[in-house]
Structure 1
Amino acid sequence: MPNNQGRRRRFGSVRQLKSGRWQVRYPDPSTGQLRSAEETYAAKRAAEVALTHIEADISRGQWADPEAGKVFFGEYAAAWLKDRKLAARSRERNESVIRLHLLPTFGARPLSSITTAQVRAWRTECLTRTGEPTVVKAYQIMRAILNTAVDDELIRRNPCRVKGADRYDVPERPVLTVAEVYAVADAMAPRYRLLVLLAAFTGLRFGELASLRRRDVDTENGALMVQRSQAEMQTGALFDKAPKSDAGVRPVAFPTELLPDMKGHLDAYAGTGRDGHVFLGPQGGRLRRSNFRDDWIKARKNAGVTADVHFHDLRHTGNTLAASGASLRELMTRMGHSTPRAALIYQHMVNGRDREIADRLGSMIRETRGDVDS
């Protein structure tokens, strides 16, 4: 019978401690220095099996430093956010989601200790007190943070594996008729009437309308040049930001039926000079979404529109009305959702198909307003 006494292991070692338990020791693949495993074992055989698994993980490149996994989620999330290239408003929004919805549960936990079951329980609890869109956003951010932790080899696997947690079904938003659009516009304070009409018949967002300057308005061809969008920080600070992509910079034709409204508005309410804002607040300052909201709700009720229509639904209304006869590419260009470079967008200038879309909207206006005026 062979004598194994004195034969040395080729990888690591196991030894019995004074407590009687068995300890595993192995060379750290990063430093080559001998290190002890995180746990001890009641039997020598269990320790030898654990050592075999460690050796296999290292040989396959799947070994993760147990100490690295002790990095706390809160400190790692802070570093992750700092390293992201984000617009100011997006950074503020992500920071708020992390602080309010992730740190209370996971901030003090080591990355390696977070399990899928814990993530699932957190999500279920969040849904009892927070709207689903916010919970989805929080889950998406957490998954992105932990994906980076996997890339950094701090954890082996991302525990954010809850099926369907990264999306939600957006409820169908209401669409106003042309008559309802005008009813709400006519119920607004005169300085906001054109704002409602342009939102409905160009599909521009509130921020894009609020950032328009006089030089962006082409009254000869009936078009707006969208080049920026106004954003508002939680502190109340306003700033103009560049579009997320080249597709956001685009000319958008508006119905020529709105030209009298446009010219009258520019004469009575717009800022002075080429850089003057087209839309201003009642005191002559920048137009704010927060200040405008009460005016919108009041006008909507006075117009007899009972549905819970948000101002942003005017964009949905305009895109729905414009969809008749327009191709997908034409609609995407008009909405600012396409991805081609800005040069491609200029191929759809106001003398092209976008003008035809605006003219069809104008026909709807004439038909509706003709009925109203008769």
Structure 2
Amino acid sequence: MAARRRFGSIRKRDSGRYQVRYPGPDGRQRTAPDTFARKSDADRYLLMVEAQMMRGEWIDPERARITLGDYAERWITQRPGLRPRTVGLYRWLLGKHITPYLGGVELSRLDTPMIREWRASLLGNGVSETMAAKAYRLLRAVLMTAVNEDQLLRKNPCRIPGADQEKPAERPVLTLAQVLKLAELMDERYRALVLVTTFACLRWGEVSALQRQDVDADAGVIRVRQTFNEVRGVGLVLGPPKSRAGLRAVSVPAAILPALREHLAAFVDDNPEALVFTTPSGRPIWRGNLNKVIGWSAAIGKLGVPGLHFHDLRHSGNTIAARTGASTRELMARMGHDSAQAAMIYQHATSEADRAIAQAVSDAVKAERKKARKPAAGGSGKPGGRGKKRG
């Protein structure tokens, strides 16, 4: 028989456990999602629910009975502004690392110990800390929407310190001499690709999507207005840069303009929409085919930096630009970085400051080339020349 109370009711079931029912703000009766071993626990639950309703914090547990897998899929589908590549990554993370473990769990039953056990299972099964951090951040974002926007949960159970942090290995930074040497090691068709990527601080998707109309080799300016994204099951998708800050005009160091002009003349069609960097057949270069198309592994092996990634060229260019003494705001604008102050960076970084960065980098490149041409001590200064014979 149910015990009479001022709010809600408690009934002892045949199993010996206690079942709780109570009226919601709409007057409709709800049943607690779990039964209780002791009546005192059931009492405390009803007191908590009543207090939440009085404070306006109560959440209908029936609304949170949707499974995490269904809710996360709906979250990805309905999330505004996601780029195709991001959607692909999120669906892959969900299907590979989240749904197999937590997909069938109702949102209302998720708690921090369960999330902690899930993360430990990922790491225990050989998933890297970097990939586990990506999956954790996705899960946290999904559940944050359930808390703040849909009000299905009172708090986010993703509360594991440090679980969102990646610990990637330190990437190599090339010196000016190494960048110039790498360009020389490349096939003639791809020398300008190395120089432009490095000294204009471009992402792979940005440099691979450049068209002739985006390059003013006389003024020394490259306009970044689109990017290629590789989407699983779809292919190359041309779209806008990853953020508003990515839309930018970048001044090219004068020292590399001759190489860029030679490239345009030799390998790029006059059509304004012709891609600047392509395969010999004129097709876009895929990131996955980079080694096969341009011989990347062979070149970096000869350079003596076998672990170098193509993206490290941008990293090296950013580092070289930072050494010119430019302000953080100027560097952020040149690199196309976004942040909490993205609007301020995008609106106030001036083209004069950007040209100053390009000129400083150009001067450094010229100095490095001059140093490389300087004859060794005691030499004649002529190729293959010999010093004087000692008496």
Q: Give the TM-score normalised by the residue count of structure 2.
A: 0.84
Which residue of 2 is the match for residue 348 of structure 1?
350
1-structure distance, mates of 2:206, 2:16: 72
Which residue of 2 is the match for residue 309 of structure 1?
308
- Contact 2:84/2:229 (8 A) holds in 1: no
Which residue of 2 is the match for residue 54 of structure 1?
49
**Could you list the per-position Cα deviations for residues 243-290 of structure 1 after superposition, in whole angstroms to 9, with x for gaps in the alignment?**
233321211111212222111111111133111111111221112111
Amino acid at match of 1:348: T
2-structure distance, mates of 1:19, 1:260: 85
Q: Which moved more, 1:248-257 or 1:170-179?
A: 170-179
1-structure distance, mates of 2:249, 2:38: 75
- Contact 2:88/2:231 (8 A) holds in 1: yes
- Contact 2:130/2:167 (8 A) holds in 1: no
Q: Does residue 150 of the first structure (1) align with residue 153 of the second (2)? A: no
Against the structure 1 CA distance between its residues 10 and 332, is the aligned structure 2 distance closer, same or farther, given a 3 Å change threshold? same
Q: Does residue 112 of the first structure (1) align with residue 114 of the second (2)? A: no
User: What number of residue pairs does the alignment pair up?
Assistant: 363
Q: How far 1:52 sits from its partner (Å)? A: 3.5
- Contact 2:253/2:361 (8 A) holds in 1: yes
Q: Does residue 322 of the first structure (1) align with residue 317 of the second (2)? A: no
**Could you list the per-position Cα deviations for residues 287-306 of structure 1 after superposition, in whole angstroms to 9, with x for gaps in the alignment?**
2111113421111112x323
Which residue of 2 is the match for residue 122 of structure 1?
118
1-structure distance, mates of 2:305, 2:261: 31
Against the structure 1 CA distance between its residues 126 and 184, is the aligned structure 2 distance closer, same or farther, given a 3 Å change threshold? same
Of 136, 144, 153 in structure 1, the residue corresponding to residue 133 of structure 2 is: 136
Against the structure 1 CA distance between its residues 231 and 271, is the aligned structure 2 distance closer, same or farther, given a 3 Å change threshold? farther
Which residue of 2 is the match for residue 63 of structure 1?
58
Of 265, 271, 282 in structure 2, the residue corresponding to residue 273 of structure 1 is: 271
Against the structure 1 CA distance between its residues 66 and 265, is the aligned structure 2 distance closer, same or farther, given a 3 Å change threshold? same
| Structure 1: unaligned runs, 5 residues or longer | 1-6
- Contact 1:180/1:305 (8 A) holds in 2: no
Q: How far 1:308 sits from its partner (Å)? A: 1.6
Give aligned-pair identity as a percent.
41
2-structure distance, mates of 1:93, 1:278: 28
Q: Which moved more, 1:242-251 or 1:223-232?
A: 242-251
**Could you list the per-position Cα deviations for residues 41-70 of structure 1 after superposition, in whole angstroms to 9, with x for gaps in the alignment?**
677666555443433332233333333333
Q: Give the TM-score normalised by the residue count of structure 1.
A: 0.88
**Could you list the per-position Cα deviations for residues 297-332 of structure 1 after superposition, in whole angstroms to 9, with x for gaps in the alignment?**
111112x32352111111111111112221111111
Which residue of 2 is the match for residue 214 of structure 1?
212
Q: Does residue 361 of the first structure (1) align with residue 356 of the second (2)? A: no
- Contact 1:246/1:341 (8 A) holds in 2: no
Which residue of 1 is the match for residue 372 of structure 2?
372
- Contact 1:228/1:240 (8 A) holds in 2: yes
Q: Secondary structure at the match of 1:240?
A: strand
Q: Which moved more, 1:108-117 or 1:139-148?
A: 108-117
Which residue of 2 is the match for residue 4 of structure 1?
none
Which residue of 2 is the match for residue 76 of structure 1?
71
Amino acid at match of 2:104: A
Q: CA RMSD in A?
A: 2.5
Against the structure 1 CA distance between its residues 269 and 27, is the aligned structure 2 distance closer, same or farther, given a 3 Å change threshold? same
Q: Secondary structure at the match of 1:157?
A: coil
Q: How far 1:175 sits from its partner (Å)? A: 1.2
| Structure 2: unaligned runs, 5 residues or longer | 375-391
Which residue of 1 is the match for residue 290 of structure 2?
292
**Could you list the per-position Cα deviations for residues 15-66 of structure 1 after superposition, in whole angstroms to 9, with x for gaps in the alignment?**
5566776544322323x13344445567766655544343333223333333
Q: How far 1:109 sits from its partner (Å)? A: 1.4
Which residue of 1 is the match for residue 172 of structure 2?
174
